[in-house]
Amino acid sequence: MVGLTSVLLAGLSGLRAAQTGVATVSQNIANANTPGYVRTEMTLAPRTQIGAGAGVEVTGVKRAADRFLTTASYIAASAASSASARSDLLSRAQQSFGDPSSASSVFSMVDEYWSALTELGVDPSSSLRRSNAVGALQATYSEVHRIGDSVQQLIGEADERIGEAVSEAQNLINRIAELNNEIRLNKRTGSDTSSAENAQSALIDQLSGLMDVRATPQEDGSTHIRTGGGALLVGVTAAKINYTPNPSPYATHGVITLNEEIGSNTNIESSITGGSIKGLLQARDVDLPGLAEALGGYAGALADAMNAVHNENASSPAVSSMTGRQTGLLSTDALNFTGTATLAVTDSGGILRDRLTIDFDSQTITSEAPPNTVSFAGGGTIGDFVDALNTALGAESPSGGASFANGVLSVNLSNNGGIVIQQDSADPAMRAGRGFSHFFGLNDLVSRPTPLFFESGISGADQHGFADNGVIEYQIRDTQGRFIADRTITISGSLSAPGATWNDLLSALNATGTGLGEYGAFSLNSSTGQVTFAPNAAFNVTLVNDSTQRGDTGVAFSALNGLDSAATAGRATEVGVNALIANNTSRLAVGRPNLSVTLGTKVIEAGDNRGANALAAARDAMRSFGAAGVLSAQTGTLATYASRLGGEAGRLASDAERQATGAAAVATAAADRRGEMESVSIDDELMKMTTYQNAYAAAARVIQAATDMLDTLMTIGYR
């Protein structure tokens, strides 16, 4: 009877195993077209009873997942998402620049401007051709503004998309952790965990598109999730990641934090090596700002080149009033000019009425009608020079012809005469590499509300002039993005004392413990007066806030020295044609005056085209360009610089597109290979169904045979 019982149990176990197999196959067939579904398989083991065989035992139903292929697909998917997000933004940035061969591109517009200048040189007295030249330059800068705004909008969009992606990732992390709890519970109770595991796998697939992930199965059935850099996203519980977007132009962006609520305040960005978040970070922090800086560099270089020529030219008739640019300087700053410049006073017909020779070396201004010499050697400041210039102008402007207020130099004649300023050809007046009129922007063609260039000519002994209680705030992180320190330098105490100099400010900025001494060094270039910062390679130093203001100029420390993106890249959205010239094209200076003639001689002719030709020639003049974003420091012409800018925009977009295409192909191949292993084959499942049905029938026959045998034995025993 014991043997017969074993046969019955074996048959019964066979029935149960076959039923489980049929159910497993049915579930596979029903989900054959369900995205993310992984085929399940039944596992069997022999049963024994007191050492004898007792049928078969279903040890579990498991997913046919391959851990290696799954990991490979996560890596490939995150790389593809990263490349796609970056390519999308860079492609749109390149579209903003436009096709260089298109008439509507900024490059074609600037070519139209050069052509308009050439045509103006044919007939400089033509008001129509003046208007065409000014209009072409306005159109060029309008297009630069549009591109600059577009790039800043893309940076803001990337920042917002990072915030959305982080929120989505947090939701996925929470759901993965919840399914871990369900899987652990089901496994402890012996229930089927495959449905929960399939759902969890689909969520991990989605998460891998946002950031690179590594899934590690645990003995209790749960799965731990880490980023490629090792940050734990899902362990026993879900991690908390957070990011607050700031899409404002030139904003200082925050960081993606991990478990901030428990005080770790960990920057997780360095641990994210893939996914759309990585691509968005790359575009927001590197690629797009690099393009913005390069565009700002081009806008500034074109403006500075035009202004350099325009300040040597003169209009006909000469203007009676000149208002300079915002220099960020104070009247107490040292003049720091060398060489000689000439300021000529003409009548309405361009006849030379007086000539003032400004000798910055001897610090004198010599006029000829009447002969007189005025010295400004008393203090050697900008204020001393302006006072001397007022005295020298004398009868030409009895109400005071020169003033320097709020960082701007103005020269006015009250008797409707004309002003013409020119450098001495043998010994030009220079400050920080620019001529007298050019430096102060007295006859600028292109202007900006804030400093257009950052070579201020300031010396370390000058008073820094920043108002009390202004602050400069920096944040320091290591190369992995981990927070190190905040540093705040306030204009207070000794820095707010009378006579505090730029050297004092630099000492405060470079102080160890309170300044940035451990993380880099500020220095003032004695030739240009520009303050620069050289960071320590082990740290990333970010300007968070600058509320300083130099005197009444409204110019902050970072804006004066080009130490933030608003000052450098911002030129692309702020530089434009001088409003005085835009509103009155007769002020366009297209003549080249001759100030060496005798008094009573005409110095400027209405038909003089030398100034227009000089403006046009600036296109092909060799000049040096500093490093700006994606463009390295180089020597070339404005034309080649524009070509390289367009080329870099195209190269970045093209490289990103190729990378996205390649990554997508790898991701598809990885997904296909994984699908071959994990997906449902209807033919295979039907074969298994037939096998399990036959097994069920065989087990039923075993039970029937055992039943018949029992009946026979019972009949024999009854007799």
Contact present, 390 and 401 (Cβ < 8 Å): yes
Q: Does residue 4 carry a pLDDT above 70?
A: no
| Average pLDDT of the residues in 316-335 | 94
Residue 622: the pLDDT is 94
Tell me what the mean pLDDT of segment 180-209 comes to: 87
Give the residue with greater pLDDT, 240 vs 32.
Answer: 240
pTM above 0.85, yes or no: yes
Average pLDDT over residues 415-421: 86
CB 393 within 8 A of CB 356: yes
Gap between the Cα atoms of 114 and 619, Å rounded:
7
Kindly report which listed range (226-235, 303-312, 608-617, 674-683) carries the lowest average pLDDT score: 674-683
**292-321 mean pLDDT:** 95
Residue 174 has pLDDT above 70, yes or no: yes
pLDDT at 150 (0 to 100): 96
- DSSP letter at 470 equals -
pLDDT band at 411 (very low <50, low <70, confident <90, very high): very high
Exposure letters 431-452 (e unless 16+ CB within 10 A, then b): bbebbbbbbbbbbbbbbbebbb
Q: What confidence tens digit (pLDDT) does each residue in 526-544 have?
A: 999 999 999 999 999 999 9
The strand pair at 40-49 and 52-63 is best described as antiparallel
**Mean pLDDT, range 224-230, rounded to an integer:** 92
pLDDT classification of 147: cutoffs 50, 70, 90 = very high
Taking only the tens place, the pLDDT of each residue in 150-165 is: 999 999 999 999 999 9
Measured in degrees and rounded to the nearest 5, phi and psi for residue 32 equal: -60, -30
Model pLDDT, residue 35: 72
Q: Closest Cα to residue 61, out of 38, 37, 41, 31? A: 41
Please report, to the nearest 10 degrees, the dihedral formed by the alpha carbons of residues 163, 165, 167, 172 taken in order. -170
Strand partners, 334: 381
pLDDT at 694 (0 to 100): 82
Dig out the tokens for 16 from the structure.
């149960």
- Asked whether the beta carbons of 21 and 695 are under 8 A apart, the reply is yes
Distance CA 171, CA 86 (A): 23
Sequence letter at residue 13: S
Rg (CA), the chain: 39
Which residues lie below 8 Å from residue 283, measured CB to CB, with a gap of 6+?
A: 85, 86, 89, 90, 154, 155, 158
CB 349 within 8 A of CB 300: no
Cis, peptide link before residue 317, omega less than 30° from 0: yes
* Residue 18: per-residue pLDDT: 76
| Better pLDDT: 23 or 254 | 254
**For 671-675, which contacts have Cβ atoms below 8 Å and span 24 or more sequence positions?**
671/73, 671/76, 671/77, 673/69, 673/72, 673/73, 674/66, 674/69, 674/70, 674/72, 674/73
Compute the distance between CA of residue 291 and CA of residue 303 in angstroms, rounded to an integer.
18
How is residue 305 written in tokens? Answer: 């080149």
What does the pLDDT read at residue 376? 93
- List phi, psi (to 5°) of 474: -125, 150
- Give the pLDDT score at 21: 75
* Structure-token pair, residue 462: 């000058």
DSSP-derived pairing of the beta strands 408-412 and 321-323: antiparallel
The pLDDT value given to residue 42: 73
State residue 573 phi and psi, 5-degree precision: -110, 0
Helix (H) or strand (E) holding 6: helix 2-30
DSSP result, 685-700 = HHHHHHHHHHHHHHHH
Counting residues of the chain whose pLDDT is more than 90, the rounded percentage is: 67
Per-residue model confidence (pLDDT) at position 585: 94
pLDDT of residue 56: 77
Predicted pLDDT at 270: 87
Cross-strand pairs, 354: 345
> Would you call 678 exposed, middle or buried from its count of C-beta atoms within 10 A (0-12, 13-18, 19+)?
buried
Are 8 and 703 a contacting pair, CB within 8 Å? yes
Taking the C-alpha atoms of residue 355 and residue 315, their distance in angstroms, rounded to an integer, is 17
Model confidence pLDDT, tens digit, residues 5-24: 677 777 787 788 778 778 77
> What confidence tens digit (pLDDT) does each residue in 326-362 have?
999 999 999 999 999 999 999 888 899 999 999 999 9
The chain-wide mean pLDDT, for the chain, equals: 90
Return the higher-pLDDT residue of 147 and 707. 147
Using one digit for the tens of pLDDT, what is the confidence trace for 371-396? 999 999 877 899 999 999 999 988 67
- Which residues are 103's β-sheet partners? none
Which tokens in the block code for residue 270?
């360095």
Cα separation, 165 vs 498, whole angstroms: 52
Do 411 and 423 form a contact (C-beta atoms < 8 A)? no
Residue 38: per-residue pLDDT: 77
Please report, for residues 286, 310, 362, 524, 678, the alpha-carbon distance to residue 429 in angstroms, rounded to integers and kept in the order given: 40, 16, 12, 22, 79
Convert 480-490 to b/e letters by CB count within 10 Å (16 or more is b): ebeeeeebebb
Task: Report how far residue 296's alpha carbon sits from residue 114's, in angstroms, rounded to the nearest whole number.
Answer: 20
Residue 140 has pLDDT above 70, yes or no: yes
Mean per-residue pLDDT, 98-116:
86
**Rounded to whole angstroms, what are the CA distances from 85 to 157, 164, 168, 310?**
11, 13, 16, 45
Using CA atoms, how far apart are residues 596 and 168, in angstroms rounded to an integer? 73
Position 417 scores a pLDDT of 83
**What is each CA distance from 633 to 298, 308, 645, 688, in whole angstroms?**
12, 20, 12, 69
What number is the average pLDDT over the span 217-222? 88
In this predicted structure, what is the pLDDT of residue 197? 84
Q: What is the 3-state secondary structure (H, E, C) of 512-578?
A: CCCCCCCCEEEEECCCCCCEEEEECCCEEEEEEEECCCECCCCCCHHHHHCCCHHHHCCHHHHCEEC
- In the Cβ-directed half-sphere of 398, how many Cα atoms lie within 13 Å? 2
- Sequence-distant (6+) residues with CB within 8 A of 153 are none
pLDDT surpassing 70 at residue 194: yes
What separation in angstroms does the CA of 254 have from each of 166, 191, 266, 280?
13, 45, 12, 14
User: Is pLDDT at 228 greater than 60 in this prediction?
Assistant: yes
pLDDT at 51: 62
What's the pLDDT score for residue 679? 73
How do residues 476-500 score in pLDDT, each as one tens digit?
Answer: 998 888 888 999 999 999 999 999 9
What is the predicted pLDDT for the residue at 53? Answer: 66
Look at residue 715 and tell me whether its pLDDT is greater than 70: yes
Task: Flag whether pLDDT at 719 surpasses 60.
Answer: no
CA terminus-to-terminus distance, the chain: 18
User: Which pLDDT belongs to residue 398?
Assistant: 64
Alpha-carbon span 571 to 626, nearest angstrom: 15
CB 340 within 8 A of CB 374: no
| Long-range Cβ contact pairs of 176-185 (< 8 A, separation 24 or more) | 176/200, 176/203, 176/204, 176/207, 176/223, 176/225, 176/234, 176/238, 177/234, 177/237, 177/238, 179/203, 180/222, 180/223, 180/234, 181/222, 183/221, 183/222, 183/223, 184/220, 184/221, 184/222
Please report the pLDDT score of residue 482 as a whole number.
Answer: 81
